[in-house]
Amino acid sequence: MKAISKITVALAAAAMLIAGCSGQGTAKATPVKEVKPAPMVSEESLGLRKTDIYNESGTAAEKTEYRTADAGTSTKIKRAYQDAPPMIPHNVSDFLPITKDNNACLGCHMPVIASAMGATPIPSTHFLDMRPHHKWDGTEFSKVIDNMKNQTDVKQMDHLSYSRFNCSQCHAPQSQGNLAVENTFEANYTKKDGEYKSDWKDVVLDDLDTVGKDSNVTSEDIANKNSPAGESVFKHQH
């Protein structure tokens, strides 16, 4: 019993000593900051939809309002970026459908008349045939270019390319509906009057004539011309 009492007293003294030492020369513990739970987010507030996601009866998209001004009375729309296909600023309901044999757009936008009509002229690139016309005699097929040598076959025409007759494939009427998210993009036009004019003629034709007077072919290209991808030919036909 005496031995147990001595051990108990020793343990108690040691505990008091440790407690006393730990309180000397140490900073007070930083209190734990209380973290408040985040407020609940309703399903109706998620995304752009603000209606009940489980019920379609009261859900309707914003009405699309296309411009109703007649051709020749509308105001041009700035291009989205340099050389972007211009938007159609006027009503097109009377011009549809557009086919290769019946295209009312040409009545105002052909280059020879566009200026007098106050319309944007169709660019020269729409009067190029960029499709190689391979040969087929009913039995044998032969190609007029060598794709492995990166050859091209581009021809200028005096009429609109049939591959470009579908104007509304690239040009679309502009809706005036309310945007769900406001567009803050600002175009940086690289050419003068780039918001209304295109310079695709220069861009497209600059590098096609790689064997002519203003050739961009280097000595390295010439040395490599017989490789599978080393030859580029611009075939200008009238």
Model confidence band, residue 17 (pLDDT cutoffs 50, 70, 90): low
Average pLDDT over residues 53-79: 83
Output the six-digit token pair for 165: 């007759």
Output the six-digit token pair for 6: 């001595």
Per-residue model confidence (pLDDT) at position 174: 84
The answer, yes or no, to whether residue 82 has pLDDT greater than 60, is yes
Answer whether 0.75 is exceeded by the pTM. no
Per-residue model confidence (pLDDT) at position 233: 42
CA distances from 36 to 32, 33, 39, 40 (A): 12, 9, 9, 12
Burial 13-37 (b: 16+ CB within 10 A, else e): eeeeeeeeeeeeeeeeeeeeeeeee
Q: What pLDDT digit, counting tens, does each position of 183-229 carry?
A: 888 888 888 888 888 776 655 554 454 445 555 556 676 676 666 55
DSSP codes, the chain:
-HHHHHHHHHHHHHHHHHHHHHTSS-PPPPPPPPPPPPPP--GGGSSS--S-TT--TT--PPPP-B--PPTTTS-PPPPSSTTPPPPB-S--TTTPSP-SS--TTHHHHSHHHHHHHT-PPPPGGGGEE-S---EE-SS-EE-SS-GGGT-EEEEE-SS--GGG--GGGT--BPB-SPPSS---------STTTTT---HHHHHHHTT-SSSTT----HHHHHTTTSTT----EEEE-
Mean pLDDT of the chain: 75
Q: What pLDDT digit, counting tens, does each position of 147-159 carry?
A: 666 677 778 888 8
Model confidence band, residue 36 (pLDDT cutoffs 50, 70, 90): confident
CA distance 231 to 227: 7
Per-residue model confidence (pLDDT) at position 135: 87
Which of these ranges, 17-21, 26-30, 189-193, 205-209, has the smallest mean pLDDT?
Answer: 205-209
CA distance 99 to 162: 10
Q: What pLDDT digit, counting tens, does each position of 114-158 carry?
A: 989 888 889 888 888 888 888 888 888 888 877 666 677 778 888
Average pLDDT over residues 39-65: 76
The answer, yes or no, to whether residue 19 has pLDDT greater than 60, is no
Which of these ranges, 30-44, 177-191, 222-236, has the smallest mean pLDDT?
Answer: 222-236
